[in-house]
Amino acid sequence: MEKQVLRKVGNGFGGIVYSDGKNEVLVRSVNRSFENAKGKKPTMYIERKQGNGFSYFSGLFPTKNEYVFTADTKNIVGLKVLYKVTFIGENLTIEQIQSMKGL
């Protein structure tokens, strides 16, 4: 995934659902504390639609810009893949990035 733009389609499953007509994601608030976490703590998390439900994709970590968050996953060989997640109006954009410089 290089860049994906999804539009808010409603509320459900305890969060907000976004879709591009082909893919769906669910954004929820974090429902636990991260007392022992080092560094930034996620304020929300994102799940991707798989079958009849949603599965965890990544935590959303705040940046200096209140509309921009970072996310990360590991690829098939275990290397970290970074994403910039932007909320603008009714749209959610997920974009793969090379570094967090400037965020």
Contacts of residue 12, defined as CB under 8 A and 6 or more positions apart, other chains included, come to 26
102 domain-assigned: no
Domain tally for the chain?
A: 1
Query: What pLDDT is stored for residue 36 in this prediction?
Result: 63
Mean pLDDT, range 21-26, rounded to an integer: 95
Is the model's pLDDT at 33 over the cut of 70? Answer: no
Cα of first residue to Cα of last residue in the chain, in angstroms, is: 20
Full residue range of the structural domain in which residue 19 is found: 3-97
Mean pLDDT, range 39-62, rounded to an integer: 91
103 domain-assigned: no
Q: What does the block give as tokens for 5?
A: 């733009």
Is the model's pLDDT at 91 over the cut of 90? Answer: yes
Q: Do residues 6 and 92 lie in contact, with contact meaning Cβ atoms separated by under 8 Å?
A: yes
Entry pTM: 0.85
Q: Do residues 68 and 74 lie in contact, with contact meaning Cβ atoms separated by under 8 Å?
A: no
